[in-house]
Structure 1
Amino acid sequence: MARAWIYDRTQSSDYVDAVRKAKAKKRRPPARYLVRYYDVAGKLRSEVASNKDKAEARCAELETALRAGSYVDPKSSKVTFTDMAEKWLESRHDLRKSTWWKYRGLLDNHVIPKWGDLPLNAIEREDIAVWVAKLLKSKEDGGSALGPSQARHAFRVLSMVLEWCVPRRIPVNPARGVKLPVRPEAEHVYLSYEQVEALANASAGLRTKYDRPTAGAGINKALILLLAYTGLRWGEAAALRVGRIDLARRRVRVAVTFYEIGGEQLEGLPKTGKRRTVSFPASLVPVLRPLVDGRDKNDLVFTTARGLSLRANNWRVREFNAAVNAAGLAAEGLTPHKLRHTAASLAIAAGADVKVVQQMLGHADASMTLNVYGHLFPDRLDEVADVLDIRRQAALAGMAA
């Protein structure tokens, strides 16, 4: 039994009378055809069709959707994007606070201004593709002047909201399959051991214009060496507590990180949401010991001369950049985050495999590590082939004996 069918309203005297009255008043008569169907709840519904072809097309569409279980109540898909975006964001209690506010900013600045007033069923894939392209255009050309990475982030938020609406409000996500701008490959900076030491030493000798040690001179060297030889993110190192450094076992427990929202410094879980333990070279023990011995386990390891927590922008501008210049490394394009790349490159050169580097850096999975640092791992194809050859020859010799 069909669950959708076409009803010709000329069979109803009420309809015939309505057409006559409309013509007498020179108005457009009501549509002739209705598409009737029973929805998934068994409720009888009807939709108006302006002509028989459209009625037949809608009837076939409804039949297919009802049989496949992909039927969507038309009223549900008419809710605006803004309404659903706000509900989606409110539901994301699983996000880190910094990520939540990042999504909030992308919605307010780029997504809602374009899609906010539209009903969900009016958002088309082609229009999304045009919007993504426009995000990349300069403001002079009517665009948003975003870089490829930011444009991809804005698109991802739009897509996540739409995906959240499937299948109750829309049958499919119209953002699926949209071609995104290619993210430019990040230019990594890998320092040598000598360059790391030069940078660390320069940072320890920084002085103000009044010829006094800078606010971070007392901790800069230890911090830079820890970043360069362990791969900790800057926020993870800045939030490190004395009790999470084990000098005897040469271990650091990475349990929290600092991040900033609206100028306020907050503490939360590391980027992936997982804690980890990393090791550091024995030669760093005497460098770290003065910052650990005799202090309360809850004290921050790295603070300013006044005992305040480090702030990312202040430390980078006033301490790190000054040390880069003093060490003659300005041409390298260094940032504190680039020390993380240095740590990875030094570890790989020392023989660390992918899983070790993944654990060290706190990547979510090994594929991320390979995507970023795969080119640094040595080509061992010949080495493997040589071992296979030796063992094959031994097997052949044994069979011949």
Structure 2
Amino acid sequence: MVRGEGRKHRKAGTFGSVDELPTGRIRARYYGPNGRRYSAPTYFLTQQDARAWLSTVQSDIIRKRWQPPDIEVPPDTRLLFGDYAERWIKERELEERTRGDYRDWLDAHILPALGEYPIASIDEDDIKRWFAKLNPDTPTLRARVYGLCSTIFNTAVDDPKVPLKRNPCRIKGAGTVKRARIIRPATLGELETIVSTLPKRFRLMALLATWCALRFGELTELRRKDIDLGRRRVYVERGVVRLKSEEKGVAVRKVKAPKSEAGIREVSIPPHLVSVIENHLRDHVDAGPNALLFPASHGGHLAPSTFTRHWYRACRVAGRWAEADTVDPRDEGRADLTLHDLRHTGAVLAALTGATLKELMDRLGHSTPGAAMRYQHAAQDRDTAIAVALSKFTEQESGNATNSNTRAKAVQSRRSRPIGTTSRRRPRI
């Protein structure tokens, strides 16, 4: 008998093939959706067992759950979302502060509700019920927590080791939040009042935040070597971020590069600030290239709370203070302008000079147009000028109509005079 003859047992219309080997063991094989042929990972004692195994493979293919057997599959098919989230945050390359925020959001808001569910079993209804329980009074935190959850699911969908085909986070707009307050950029008059009210060692901070669009973390890390008055340049290469500390009352700060390459930049100094910078370097900055421009009184980096006390007082004097809505005498209200908001003022002034969007992106240190566009505001003086210009159209039309009526009356008056009379000469007698 020819080798192999009589060993194959395949029925027409069935999935895969079943072979009886010379040893008497049964082998099952099939063609996968990718066109490659695969064998069962083990042999079977009966053809019925082999057919039952092939039916499970065919079911996985129909449900689009099939994976090539050469891909490592987790031994636990009930992979929990909590286990995958832990692995995700461990393997992700994140900044220390970002990792700390993600850790807090997972522990407080995500894992208690979703961690014990198999990741493949979580559907859109589960996400909707979970999202509805998040505190709506903290819309920014709510959006960020949802965005983190959605990011983890997106990674799982692209992971061939995870039995998940679709991200269940599909609530439209849940990952975005509207701006909690409308930022009203400071006018030049308000800026002048704020600067004159601040202590002398902090005045240059407000001016650089406005005219050079620098952030607080960038300002507090500026050193003498970062200022080039000859070329009138500020070199922004580093910033200070505050990290969460396990020890209460102890602040942990870290000097790091900006988030993106666009954050590393040279910013031109407006000429009217050169003398102010010279005076500040002389009166408030130690000698040496590494001396901080705005150090704390005890040395080291300036704490936000130290600056904020003086900032609030300056905002009150400038009229940028929102009174409290409650009757609680302890609630004194809040400033409706922050140091970071002065970047908006700087962006408006730069835009009024005719700067292009790309030039504004470079000056603000943004890598995307959308981020720079958030700093664009209509200057009140410019809007007033537009309104006046619009009124001139109506005045022009009114003037044209008046001139037309005057000419028409003049023509009519000339036509109605008696023959032989004029307006200058009396008729002869």
Question: TM-score if structure 2 supplies the norm length?
Answer: 0.65
Who is 2:371 aligned against? 368
CA distance in 1, matches of 2:222, 2:115: 42
Distance 1:69 1:373, change over 3 A: farther
- 1:1-400 alignment, distance < 5 Å: 42=38, 44=40, 59-63=58-62, 65=64, 73=73, 75=75, 77-93=77-93, 95-137=94-136, 145=137, 147-165=138-156, 166-168=158-160, 169-181=162-174, 183-185=177-179, 186-203=181-198, 217-262=199-244, 263-272=251-260, 274-292=263-281, 295-316=287-308, 318-331=309-322, 333-373=336-376
Amino acid at match of 1:267: V
Matches of 1:183 and 1:224, distance apart in 2: 28
User: 2:78·2:118 contact (CA, 8 Å) conserved in 1?
Assistant: yes
**Whole-angstrom CA distance in 2 between matches of 1:124 and 1:85:** 16
Q: Distance in 2 between matches of 1:364 and 1:202?
A: 35
The amino acid of 1:44's aligned partner reads A
Structure 1 gap segments, 5+ residues each? 8-35, 47-54, 138-144, 204-216, 380-401
Give the 3 Å change call, closer, same or farther, for CA 171–261 of structure 1 in structure 2.
same
Question: What is the alpha-carbon distance in structure 1 between the residues aligned to residue 78 and residue 30 of structure 2?
Answer: 19
Q: CA, structure 1 residues 105+167, in 2 after alignment: closer, same or farther (shift >3 Å)? A: same
- If the length of structure 1 is used for normalisation, what is the TM-score? 0.70
Deviates more, 1:272-281 or 1:171-180: 171-180
2:316 and 2:193 mapped to 1: Cα distance? 11
Judge conservation of contact 1:80–1:117 (CA < 8 Å) in 2.
yes
CA contact (8 A) 1:38 1:44 kept: no
Tell me how large the CA RMSD over aligned residues is.
3.6
**How has the CA–CA distance of structure 1 residues 297 and 127 changed in structure 2, closer, same or farther, with 3 Å as cutoff?**
same
Render the CA deviation track for 1:324-360: whole Å, top value 9, x for unaligned: 1233332471111111111111111222211111111
Structure 2: distance between partners of 1:178 and 1:286: 54
More helix by share: 1
d(CA) in 2 for partners of 1:126 and 1:170?
A: 19
Q: For the Cα contact (< 8 Å) 1:72–1:167, is it kept in 2? A: no
- Structure with higher Rg: it is 2
1:66 CA drift (Å): 7.2
| Partner SS for 2:230 | coil
**TM superposition shift of 1:4:** 5.7
* Equivalent-residue separation in structure 2 for 1:173 and 1:79 (angstroms): 15
- Structure 2 CA distance for aligned equivalents of residues 43 and 158 of structure 1: 38
Listed as ranges, the gaps of 5+ residues in structure 2 are 1-9, 19-28, 43-53, 245-250, 323-334, 384-429
Q: How many residues align?
A: 321
- 1:105-143 deviation digits (Å, cap 9, x = unpaired): 111111111111222112112211222222144xxxxxx
Measured in 2, the distance between the counterparts of 1:106 and 1:312 equals 24
Asked if the contact 1:252/1:278 (under 8 Å) is kept, the reply is yes
Kept in 1: contact 2:343–2:375 (CA 8 A): no
Query: Is the 2:232–2:274 contact (alpha carbons within 8 Å) kept by the matching residues of 1?
Result: yes
Q: Deviations over 1:81-109 (max 9, x none)?
A: 2222122112222x222112111111111
Q: In the aligned structure 2, how far is the partner of 1:152 from the partner of 1:254? A: 31
Contact 1:219 1:303 in 2 (8 A): no
Amino acid at match of 2:149: L
Q: Secondary structure at the match of 1:304?
A: coil
Say if 1:79 and 1:119, in contact at 8 Å, map to a contact too. Answer: yes
Corresponding residue number in structure 2 for 1:393? none
- What is the Cα deviation at residue 187 of structure 1? 1.2
| Structure 2 residue matching 1:358: 3-state secondary structure | helix
Q: Distance in 1 between matches of 2:17 and 2:315?
A: 76
Query: CA 1:3 to 1:99, structure 2 compared with 1: closer, same or farther past 3 Å?
Result: farther
SS state at 2:240 partner: strand
Preserved contact between residue 77 and residue 120 of structure 1 (Cα < 8 Å) = no
